[in-house]
C-alpha cells in the first residue's frame, strides 16, 4: 500500500483570521489544530471564531437586514448575486474536494459525487426555483407577500460543508435573509475556501459570513437575540437543545436531524441489482451520512443468502488514503466517531449480535481513525445498535416474518428520515411506501431526490430543504387587504 503523506498544499487565506461581513479580520484565537483523520498529524493551526467575532458578524447581519438593501432587492438581482457566488464556488471545487478529504477523510470520488454533482445541481436548482416562486400572489380578497424571515443562523456539519451551501445558505439568501453560516470546527479549510469565493463574488457587506466555530460560540449564536431563525443539520440531541435555546424568543427553527434508515428487501427482490445501490447506500463516507441505510430488514428464508452477499461486498472495499484515486473508503472523520463506533459494536456483541465482517480497526494503519466497514447479523429492535444512530460504518441485518412485520419493524424507531424497499411487486411496494413513517422512500434504489423537498418525520426533524419549499422555509407570509 502507498504510504500516506498528507500535507496542506492548498493556498488558503487567513488561517489566522475570519472573513466577516466583507473583510478578513485577524482573530485572537490561533491555537486550534486541524488534525488529519488519516494520519493524526497536525495539518495546520488556525484561528477559531471568538464570541466577539460572532457578535460582530451578527450585528452586521442585523444592521444589513434592517437598514440595508438586500432584503428589498428585486429577486432577479438577488439571483444574479447568488449566481456569482455559485460560479465562484464551482471554480474552486477541485481545491474544496481536496481540502475536505484532508480535514474530514472522504475519498475524492465521494467528494466529487457529493459536491461536483449533487452540490452543483442543488444550488443551480435553487436559482431556478427562485425565479418561479410567486413572491407576490393576489388571491380572492388579499394580496400575499412572501417576505424574508430576517437574520438566519445556518448550522452545517463536517459531512457536507460544501453541498449544504446549496441546501441552506443559497436558499436563505435568495429569500432575502442575511446569513451567518456556522461550519463545523472540523471544516476549517473548506470554510475559508468558500469565504474566498464570497469575497470574489462581491456579496454586499453583512449579507453572508461563514464561521467554523466550536460548541461555545455556536451555543452563543443559537441563543443570540438578534438571530431570527436557526436552520440546523445535525444530531437529534443537538436539535432538541436548539429548540430549547430558541424557545424563549420563539425563533423559527428548521431541523434536519438524525436517521436510522431501514432497507426492506422483499422475498422476490433480485439480489444482484439490489446490492448495486444498497451497498453504497449503507456504507457511503463510512456511514457518516444522515440517510445511511443502517438497518437491513430481510425475509427469514433469504437471510443467509443476503448476509453472505453483503459480507462479500463489504470485505471487498479498498480502504486507503482518501487522496488516492483507487480508495473506496477512507477513515472516520473524527476521533469521537471512531470511539463511538467501537462502543456500539461492543454493545451489540454483548447483546448477542454476530459480527459477520469488520468490527475492528484494520491492522495495516498505525495512525488515524480507521475502522473496517462492519456487518452485523442476529440483531433485533431491542438492541442499541439498531435503535440509535451511530454515524459510523455499521450495518445491522434483522429478519422479518411477512411484509406487515417488515413495516412494523421499520416504523419501530424514533427516527423517520429515509427508507428503501427492494422488490418486484409494484402495487405491494407502493402500499408499503405509504405506510412507512419516513420523509423519503426509495423504491429499488437508495438515497433521496435533492431536487424536491426533503425532511424527516418524528425525531428526524421538521421543515424541508431543497425544492421551492427549501426557499420558502426562510420566508413569512404577509397579507394585504383593501377596504
Tell me the catalytic residues: 256, 290
Which conformational region is residue 458 in: left (phi greater than 0), alpha (psi within -120 to 50 degrees), or beta?
Answer: left
Partnered with residue 34 across adjacent β-strands are 44
Q: What is the DSSP string of 70-110?
A: GGGS-HHHHHHHHHHHHHHHHHTHHHHHHHHHHHH---HHH
Grid cell, residue 167, equals: 441546501
C-alpha 337/C-alpha 102 separation (Å) is 17
- Cα 464 to Cα 116, 134, 167, 182, 291, distances in angstroms: 23, 18, 10, 19, 15
> Is 348 within 8 Å of 385 (Cβ atoms)?
yes
Q: β-pairing, 415-416 with 394-400?
A: unpaired
Beta strand segments in 105-196, E:
136-138, 143-148, 151-155, 178-183
Q: CA gyration radius for the chain?
A: 23
Please state, in angstroms and rounded to a whole number, the distance separating the CA atoms of residues 50 and 286. Answer: 32
Calculate the CA 198 to chain-centre distance: 21
- Residue 425 CA to its chain's centroid (Å): 32
Amino acid at each position: 500500500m502507498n504510504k500516506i503523506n498528507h500535507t496542506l498544499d492548498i493556498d488558503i487565506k487567513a488561517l489566522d483570521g475570519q472573513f466577516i461581513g466583507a473583510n478578513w479580520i485577524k482573530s485572537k484565537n490561533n491555537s486550534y489544530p486541524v488534525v488529519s483523520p488519516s494520519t493524526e498529524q497536525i495539518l495546520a493551526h488556525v484561528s477559531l471564531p471568538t464570541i466577539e467575532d460572532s457578535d460582530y458578524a451578527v450585528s452586521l447581519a442585523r444592521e444589513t437586514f434592517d437598514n440595508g438593501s438586500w432584503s428589498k432587492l428585486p429577486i432577479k438581482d438577488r439571483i444574479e448575486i447568488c449566481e456569482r457566488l455559485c460560479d465562484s464556488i464551482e471554480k474552486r471545487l477541485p481545491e474544496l474536494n481536496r481540502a475536505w478529504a484532508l480535514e474530514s477523510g472522504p475519498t475524492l470520488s465521494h467528494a466529487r459525487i457529493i459536491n461536483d454533482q449533487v452540490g452543483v445541481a442543488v444550488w443551480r436548482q435553487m436559482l431556478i426555483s427562485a425565479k418561479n416562486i410567486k413572491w407576490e400572489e393576489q388571491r380572492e380578497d388579499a394580496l400575499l407577500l412572501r417576505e424574508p424571515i430576517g437574520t438566519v443562523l445556518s448550522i452545517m456539519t463536517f459531512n457536507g460543508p460544501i453541498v449544504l451551501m446549496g441546501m441552506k445558505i443559497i436558499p436563505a439568501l435568495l429569500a432575502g435573509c442575511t446569513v451567518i453560516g456556522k461550519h463545523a470546527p472540523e471544516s476549517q479549510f473548506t470554510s475559508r475556501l468558500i469565504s474566498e469565493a464570497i469575497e470574489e463574488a462581491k456579496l454586499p457587506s453583512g449579507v453572508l459570513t461563514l464561521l467554523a466555530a466550536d460548541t461555545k460560540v455556536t451555543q452563543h449564536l443559537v441563543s443570540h437575540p438578534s438571530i431570527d431563525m436557526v436552520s440546523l443539520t445535525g444530531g437529534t440531541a443537538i436539535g432538541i437543545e436548539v429548540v430549547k435555546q430558541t424557545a424563549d424568543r420563539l425563533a423559527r427553527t428548521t431541523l434536519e436531524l438524525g436517521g436510522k434508515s431501514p432497507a426492506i428487501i422483499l422475498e422476490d427482490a433480485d439480489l444482484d441489482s439490489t446490492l448495486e445501490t444498497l451497498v453504497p447506500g449503507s456504507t457511503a463516507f463510512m456511514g457518516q451520512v444522515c440517510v445511511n441505510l443502517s438497518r437491513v430488514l430481510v425475509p427469514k428464508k433469504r437471510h443467509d443468502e443476503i448476509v453472505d452477499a453483503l459480507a462479500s461486498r463489504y470485505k471487498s472495499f479498498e480502504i486507503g488514503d482518501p487522496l488516492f484515486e483507487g480508495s473506496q473508503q477512507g477513515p472516520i472523520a473524527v476521533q469521537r466517531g471512531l470511539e463511538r463506533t467501537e462502543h456500539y459494536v461492543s454493545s451489540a456483541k454483548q447483546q448477542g449480535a454476530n459480527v459477520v465482517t469488520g468490527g475492528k480497526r484494520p491492522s495495516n494503519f498505525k495512525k488515524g481513525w480507521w475502522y473496517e466497514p462492519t456487518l452485523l447479523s442476529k440483531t433485533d429492535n431491542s438492541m442499541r445498535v439498531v435503535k440509535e444512530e451511530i454515524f459510523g460504518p455499521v450495518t445491522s441485518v434483522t429478519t422479518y416474518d411477512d411484509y406487515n412485520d417488515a413495516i412494523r419493524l421499520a416504523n419501530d424507531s424514533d427516527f423517520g428520515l429515509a427508507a428503501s424497499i427492494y422488490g418486484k411487486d409494484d402495487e405491494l411496494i407502493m402500499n408499503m411506501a405509504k405506510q412507512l413513517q419516513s420523509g423519503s422512500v426509495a423504491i429499488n434504489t437508495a438515497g433521496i431526490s435533492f431536487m424536491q423537498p426533503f425532511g424527516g418525520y418524528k425525531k428526524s426533524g421538521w421543515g424541508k430543504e431543497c425544492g421551492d419549499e427549501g426557499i420558502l422555509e426562510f420566508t413569512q407570509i404577509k397579507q394585504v387587504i383593501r377596504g
